[in-house]
Amino acid sequence: MNPRSGTHSESCHVLPSPQPSHKGRKGRAGFQTRPYTLQAVYLILFLTFVLVAPARGELVIPFDNPNRDKMPLAVPDFVSEAPGALNGSALAGILKNDLHLTGLFKILDNASAPSQAAAADPNFEIWSRAGAQTLILGSFRTSGDELVFEGRLYDVALKKLELGKRYTGKIRDHRRIIHRFADRVMERLTGIPGCFSTKIAFTAESQSRELFTMDFDGHDLRQMTQTQTINLSPDWSPDGAAIIFTSYLNQNPDLWKLDLTTLQYHALSTQPGINASARYSPDGRHIALSLSAKGTPKIFIISPEGHIIKMLTSGRGNDISPTWSPDGNTIAYTSDGAGTPQIYTIPVGGGAPARLTFGSNYNTDPKWSPRGDLLAFTARVDGRFQICTIGTDGKDLRVLTDKGSNQDPAWSPDGRMIVFTSNRTGQRLIHIMDANGEIQVPVSRVPGKTPAWSRNLK
């Protein structure tokens, strides 16, 4: 910790995996050694949670409150300690865009922002008059190709430093450094780390449908396959080290696995017919997918090595697009067994399927929220495809999109955002939106479809 600024240092190195790791905060240890009576223990717990917690929770955003107001947040341009290769306004812009896309913040205009020296404490009175509840200050310096960035989060009303972090890395990794600090800001304000350091994989919509990855905001676009054939429906392993996908590399829709360290891929499931829409279980120990080796496509569970464990669904319908509940106990999927594509759920341990959707004659491609309470899916609404969410009990149906045709939803690993494809701009681009559908923006530089969001936040 730096005694001047109250910041903790972190390094930011380029990792072979597309996911930098996040270390969880350690709790404080302050236990006394002399024994307590049971009544004394209850009293201590009461005082801790009832009296202490509210005072520390002034800045916590109630994620589950649909009527919450956006938190007023000020992020003035970051200050360079000496002239260098990076621009403070651009660096602050990365952070502001990250936080804006969550739909949780009202980013204040910086036109009247007071000048701020790199090491100075903020003038809380001025920021309070500007309407800021939260303030983020940043300073940085560069030397050669090295970057040191320091970010600080303040509670304006309490005139209190809530979070301070220092990052060291390469100038070329400045976006990654800012994303990591934004992750920590979200963790401090909501109790859940942000997803700004995660990646999105998708299939490019071109003659050769290769797999690409990019940062969640569209930067750092990279081509991951060179198969010169059709590749579809990628899904990240829970540890972020591999991507599974369906490919016609051997003239059949087989399931393949791409190792992101070596960029080598090999076949996992080559059953006759389709081996499609594969999804890792939350713990990575199983894969659910649709196989048509027995004729009509059904949901199967296989091992990560490709060995069939069980056939989960039966009946006359075509069953596709499985998605796991966060606890791994239930799978939602699409079936046309009732005549039109609808969303069903079924216990992984066995049991009867339950129909979830009834409001449209075409519902497909369900994705289970990491929070466990909602499913996102594609529905045909007034003749066009739209992204919807529905409660796991079949209630609270919401249509989130209304411009163009929208498909292929997938959740961010923190459950705050949804990635999807849309042709609203004239091209089918990858878009992201907050979970309420209030903010919707394109992020991909090239046309694409079937996006998948990397999952590990640890």
| Residue 275 and residue 408 in one domain | yes
Percentage of the chain beyond pLDDT 90 is: 78
Instruction: Count structural domains, the chain.
Output: 2
Per-residue pLDDT at 458: 52
- Same-domain status, 221 and 340: yes
In tens, the pLDDT along 11-30 reads 554 333 333 333 333 333 33
Tell me, what's the pLDDT at 59? 65
pLDDT band at 41 (very low <50, low <70, confident <90, very high): very low
Report if residue 250 sits inside a domain: yes
Tokens standing for 261?
């360290």
Neighbours of 72 (CB within 10 A): 17
Mention every residue, 6+ apart, whose C-beta is less than 8 A from residue 149: 78, 91, 138, 139, 140, 166, 167, 168, 174, 177, 178, 181
Pairing of strands 134-143, 79-80: parallel
Q: In the structure, what pLDDT confidence band is assigned to residue 43 with cuts at 50, 70 and 90?
A: very low
What is the rounded CA–CA span in Å between residue 45 and residue 42?
A: 5
pTM for this model (two decimals): 0.86
Closest among 356, 413, 354, 362 to 386, alpha carbons compared = 362
Tell me, yes or no, whether 398 lies in a domain.
Answer: yes
DSSP sequence for 44-91: HHHIIIIIIHHHHTTT---TT-TTPPPEEEE-PPPEESS--SS-HHHH
Residue ending a domain, among 150, 167, 190, is 190
Cβ distance 418 to 399 under 8 Å?
no
SS3 state of residue 363: strand
Confidence (pLDDT) at 5: 46
- In this prediction, residue 109 carries a pLDDT of 85
> Would you say residue 45 lies in a domain?
no
Residues 301-360: pLDDT tens digits?
999 999 999 999 998 999 999 999 999 999 999 999 999 999 999 999 989 999 999 989
For the chain, what is the mean pLDDT?
87
CATH label of the domain that carries residue 364: 2.120.10.30
Q: What CATH number is attached to the domain comprising 86?
A: 3.40.50.10070
pLDDT at site 69: 86
pLDDT, residue 55, reads 37
The confidence score (pLDDT) of residue 81 equals 85
Owning domain of residue 304? 199-453
pLDDT score, position 112: 61
pLDDT at residue 53 tops 80: no
Q: Are 138 and 232 in the same domain?
A: no
For residue 393, what is the DSSP state? T
Sign of the torsion formed by the C-alpha atoms of 202, 299, 455 and 59: positive
pLDDT digits (tens, 9 = 90+) for 313-322: 998 999 999 9
Residue 102 resides in a domain? yes
Whether residue 287 lies inside any domain: the answer is: yes
| pLDDT at res. 359 | 87
Is the domain of 83 the same as that of 179? yes
Contacts of 391 (CB under 8 A, 6+ apart): 373, 374, 375
pLDDT tens column, 408-434: 999 999 999 999 999 999 999 999 999
- pLDDT given at position 358: 95
Residues 172 and 241 in one domain: no
Mean pLDDT of 175-191: 97
Higher pLDDT, 84 or 273: 273
- Whether 119 has a pLDDT exceeding 50, the answer reads yes
How large is the average pLDDT for residues 28-41? 35
pLDDT of residue 84: 83
Q: Answer yes or no: do 102 and 205 share one domain.
A: no
pLDDT of residue 121: 83
Whether 101 shows a pLDDT value over 90: the answer reads yes
Residue 398 has a pLDDT of 97
pLDDT for the residue 350 = 87
Q: Of 165, 190, 215, at which residue does a domain stop? A: 190
